[in-house]
Amino acid sequence: MRKIFLHFAVTADGMVSNVEQWVSITDEAMKDGSVFHDTVDAIIFGKNNYAPLAEYWQNAETAADSAEERAFARKINEMHKLVLSHDEVELVWKNSELLRAKDSASFKQAIARLKDMPGKNIIVDSGEGTWRSFLENDLWDGIDMLVHPLVIGSGKPLLASMPIKVPLRLVESKAYDNGVVNLRYERI
């Protein structure tokens, strides 16, 4: 059975909102992210972040200053992408499909079908509402987070309202020169 990993950047005080104002990814972290993406064959995006990320990564494939970022963009642009939404969404990114869920029951059924399909693992890449849906419906197997050395004091905390206590096992950690720490956990 495939596993689902929630993948996000977070501040030291647990905030996941307004990442464009504080996220900092080095080439080394980009390269490690590319290796992690080799273990997955599908990425789930929420409808609100899908179009901006599609635009960013499609442009980054040729316009990014970093060779690592261009390589990562090529990889992500080729991957299978699922857009989670209640409504229709214009699919503007290669290899994208709509993952329609009208309510909690249809959401759980759709994710169960995805997990039962043959293939590699799946990551949920954005955004806060989408991650929260997976957390609240207990539809996740692990967390891959890039913790940034920054306290912003306000914003949207992701894990503060967890409905249950969930023990985790650290499977990988790495600190980067800019102070960002990548932590990967799996549920016990």
What integer pLDDT is reported at residue 156 of this predicted model? Answer: 86
Q: What order of strands is seen across the sheet that includes strand 96-100? A: 96-100, 80-85, 40-46, 121-126, 4-11, 142-148, 181-187, 168-175
The reported pTM is 0.95
What integer pLDDT is reported at residue 154 of this predicted model? Answer: 86
6 contact partners, CB below 8 Å, separation of at least 6: 123, 124, 131, 134, 135, 140, 142, 143, 144, 145
Answer whether residue 161 shows pLDDT above 80.
no
- Mean pLDDT lowest for which of 77-81, 135-139, 177-181? 135-139
Which whole number is the average pLDDT over 119-140?
Answer: 94
132 contact partners, CB below 8 Å, separation of at least 6: 158, 161
Higher pLDDT, 107 or 165: 107
pLDDT tens-place string over residues 100-125 = 999 999 999 999 999 999 999 999 99
What integer pLDDT is reported at residue 127 of this predicted model? Answer: 87
Strands (DSSP E) found in the chain = 4-11, 40-46, 80-85, 96-100, 121-126, 142-148, 168-175, 181-187
Q: How far apart are CA 149 and CA 165, in angstroms?
A: 25
**DSSP string of 78-116, one letter each residue:** HSEEEEEESS-----STTEEEEE-SSHHHHHHHHHHHHH
pLDDT tens-place string over residues 37-87 = 999 999 999 999 999 999 999 999 999 999 999 999 999 999 999 999 999
> Quick one: pLDDT band at residue 5, thresholds 50, 70, 90?
very high
Answer whether residue 126 shows pLDDT above 90.
no
Of the candidates 98, 97, 96, 109, the residue with the CA atom closest to the CA atom of residue 57: 96
Q: Do 48 and 165 contact (CB within 8 A), yes or no?
A: no
Q: What angle do CA 131, 143, 164 make, to 5 degrees?
A: 70
> Quick one: pLDDT band at residue 159, thresholds 50, 70, 90?
confident
